[in-house]
Chain A
Amino acid sequence: MYRSHVLVCGGTGCTSSGSQQIAQALEEEIAKQGLAEEVKVIKTGCFGLCALGPIMIVYPEGCFYSMVKLQDVPEIVSEHLLKGRIVKRLLYSETVEEDNIKSLNETDFYKKQHRVALRNCGVINPENIDEYIGYDGYAALGKVLTEMKPEEVIQTILDSGLRGRGGAGFPTGLKWKFAAGNQADQKYVCCNADEGDPGAFMDRSILEGDPHVVLEAMAIAGYAIGASQGYIYIRAEYPIAVQRLQIAIKQAREYGLLGKNIFNSGFDFDIDLRLGAGAFVCGEETALMTSIEGHRGEPRPRPPFPAVKGLFQKPTILNNVETYANVPRIILNGVDWFRQMGTEKSKGTKVFALGGKIHNTGLVEVPMGTTLREIVEEIGGGIPNGKKFKAAQTGGPSGGCIPASLIDTEIDYDNLIAIGSMMGSGGLIVMDEDTCMVDIAKFFLEFTVDESCGKCTPCRVGTKRMYEMLDKISKGQATMEDLDKLEQLCYFIKENSLCGLGQTAPNPVLSTLRYFRHEYEAHIVDKVCPAGVCKGLVTYNIDPDKCKGCTLCARACPAGAISGTVKNPHTIDKNKCVKCGACMEKCRFNAIYKK
């Protein structure tokens, strides 16, 4: 027994800010001060507040230290762990209230959250199967194998109303039912961990913080549909998650929780990892399976659906990481418990990766039906630098923008579709008034052009043409006719592409056109970029009343475009200006402005 536990976040965010070195220094310092028998350091998964990393929590007090530096370690050990005096200056400011320490769950960031899929993240050591088992781990698998028939498992998942968390929201139980109904000598259970949406990192955090939950759920799915082999297809860009999964699979095999005759039930199930190699399209289900088979990851037409002919031409189910993370809880806590959370057609919770122009970037899990306003203003802490909320982007390159006028929308699958966006895997990027919507649409189209696999023409050629039109608009060279053509092309690509990538590629354009058409028109008709982002349309100017003639800008200009004499207002030669913005950064009098 230890009298104190120090939980250090070992997720990608905190690891990038140096949490490994801090954990190591802590262990060394604890040993040096003779506390090795009394205090234990545990590396956990993600706490969610990535912007404040490296993060650690000291129990039993529940002290939440943020932005810890290496040089703070000796103080934490000698003051807090040895003498019991909390190091106040390192506490997360939200947890301190007039000398009292609030529990983390009372802070704005955590108060409205409800952790189901993330329940073990930041709580257990993901590299130790005993800690997972200590938190009811593998109890659901045990219950399923010893007390339930496969049909009962499927019925439970069906009744719970769980829908795919990967984006499209297809009922999970239905998928399982189809696959179970098809007879074959071999079936497969696959997990989609190819989280390719830029700005989304929910699945990564679950895999890093609680890898066993995915293994357990896959085994449950295997039992339900009659499969003995599972594959996890994971991005190679997530080295920590890959490593923790490898450890987890090894431990589960040692404990007999994967392999032959699990729980003496006669049920065999094993899981292998397959690493992606950087192709966004492989997040599409048929492309993912083609890639596991060792080919170019190109999608194939459906039908036949994977439940009939999937991986290696056998019946296959494919679910996303977060979907699986819900399964063991549903089995243990029951259908009614799960159905209490969420809206009528979207049950349970959803994890969002909150990013962009917002105070609390990080990972949040909220019940379905939470409004965008609650997420942005309360949990996210609002927009920094006194800027105004302009839009939130959900669903990545397949989704759309939610404008400020719809900030009170309750977020669930159907509401988002209705307003022209989609849930997607859960990336939620907040944008302020400095973001140009034409530029954002162009950014996503550049992504799609790059990632289109090239198999079908509407996507391969169509997205390229769309990008070119957007480029023309952003440079002020387009006509209103081009805008109509662009819109027509969007609908054509949506209807005619082979897979989800092409079918959803026009969404960023369509949704920005729907809510921010005036910005497109400003670029085309007035030849201005209202947000001052599109380089081709911005000019830099000096306000002669504010300019003190200090010459800083002239010296900073790489193009020699600024002229003027000391103590007299300077001017910018627009023909020479390369619009790098260096002058504006250097000016101490706010005399330079973009127009």
Chain B
Amino acid sequence: MAEKKQTVPFRGTPEQEQKLREIIAAHKEEKGALMPVLQQAQEVYGYLPIEVQQIIAEGLGVSLAEVYGVVTFYSQFSLYPKGQYKISVCLGTACYVKGAGAVFDKLTQKLNIKSGECTPDGKFSLEACRCIGACGLAPVMTVNDEVYGKLTPDDVEEILSKYN
């Protein structure tokens, strides 16, 4: 998914860095440690800015290029911060044939952002995701961990209003 470049200054706290170093220490000896470390680092910071990647590279003794290569390969790792409420619309096959595309279009219209972007107030970010496995409820979307199923474009406004 295309991501919007934005220059949000890195605001990591010493507590976060302390946590990151603990994570690195816990996994350092493991084979294939990079992925678990990145996943947990993203939980701490919400995203993986270059400053965090630098700490990980040094901590695990691999090059920054390798860390960056892995981060940009997997769609779950994000170089940019996400919104307070992360909206994902499933565009897997089952949802697609049941009209998830129209729900997605309605969201881009209402939020006035494209896939992968975040609203200027930092409240909502929007992305299309692949199957989340709730095909019985197609079409579905998630807002953070909340799942909404059997959607129509008309439901979008009401769902968004819950978070406003």
Contacts of B135 in A (CB 8 A): 13, 50, 199, 201, 353, 355, 361
B156 within 8 A of A: no
**CB-defined contacts of A204 to chain B, threshold 8 Å:** 133
User: Cβ of A361 and Cβ of B136 under 8 Å apart?
Assistant: yes
Query: Which residues of A239-282 are within 8 A (CB) of B?
Result: 239, 274-280
- Please give the number of chain B residues whose Cβ is less than 8 angstroms from any Cβ of chain A in the complex: 40
- The reply on B16 being an interface residue by CB < 8 A is no
Name which residue of chain B comes closest to A393, CB basis.
B93
User: Does B163 make an interface contact (CB < 8 A)?
Assistant: no
Bound-complex Cα distance A160 to B33 (A): 38
By beta carbon, the residue of chain B nearest A295 is B70
Given contacts A50-B134, A198-B131, contact A296 B69 (CB under 8 A): yes
- A294 touches which of B70, B76, B96, B131 (Cβ 8 Å): B70
Question: Restricting to B120-164, which residues have a CB under 8 Å from any CB of A?
Answer: 129-138, 140, 145, 147, 149
- How distant is the Cα of A444 from the Cα of B132 in the complex, in angstroms? 17
Q: Residue of A at shortest CB range from B31?
A: A312
CB distance A13 to B134 under 8 Å?
yes
B73 with A296: CB separation less than 8 A: yes
Q: Chain B contacts of A330 at CB under 8 A?
A: none
Chain A, 31-65, CB within 8 A of any chain B CB:
49-51, 53
Q: B74 and A278: CB pair below 8 A?
A: yes
A355 touches B133 (CB 8 A): no
**Are A16 and B140 touching (Cβ within 8 A)?**
yes
What A residues does B130 contact at CB under 8 A?
196, 198, 237, 278, 280, 447
| Inter-chain contacts of A196 with B (CB < 8 A) | 130-131
Question: Nearest CB to that of A290 among chain B residues?
Answer: B32
Which residues in window 53-71 of B have CB below 8 A to A? 66, 69-70
Interface 9-mer from B4-12, B17-25, B34-42, B79-87: B34-42
Contacts of B138 in A (CB 8 A): 355-356, 361
**CB of A184 to closest CB in B, whole Å:** 15
Complex Cα spacing A379 to B136, Å: 15
Q: Please determine whether A443 and B36 come into contact, CB atoms closer than 8 angstroms.
A: no
Q: Which residues of B contact A571 (CB under 8 A)?
A: none
Asked if A435 contacts B97 (CB within 8 A), the reply is yes
| CB within 8 Å of B: which A355-403 residues | 355-357, 361-362, 393, 396
Which chain A residue has the least Cβ–Cβ distance from B148? Answer: A16
Q: Across the interface, do B137 and A429 meet the contact criterion of CB distance under 8 Å?
A: no
- Which of A16, A236, A355 contacts B149 (CB under 8 A)? A16
B98 at the binding interface (Cβ < 8 Å): yes
Q: Are the CB atoms of A277 and B77 closer together than 8 Å?
A: yes
For the complex, what is the distance from the CA of A292 to the CA of B76, rounded to whole Å?
16
* B binding-site residues for A, Cβ under 8 Å: 1, 31-36, 38-39, 66, 69-70, 73-77, 91-98, 102, 129-138, 140, 145, 147, 149
10 further interface pairs, Cβ-Cβ under 8 Å (given A236-B76, A293-B32): A12-B133, A13-B137, A53-B136, A198-B131, A237-B129, A277-B38, A279-B75, A291-B35, A297-B74, A361-B138
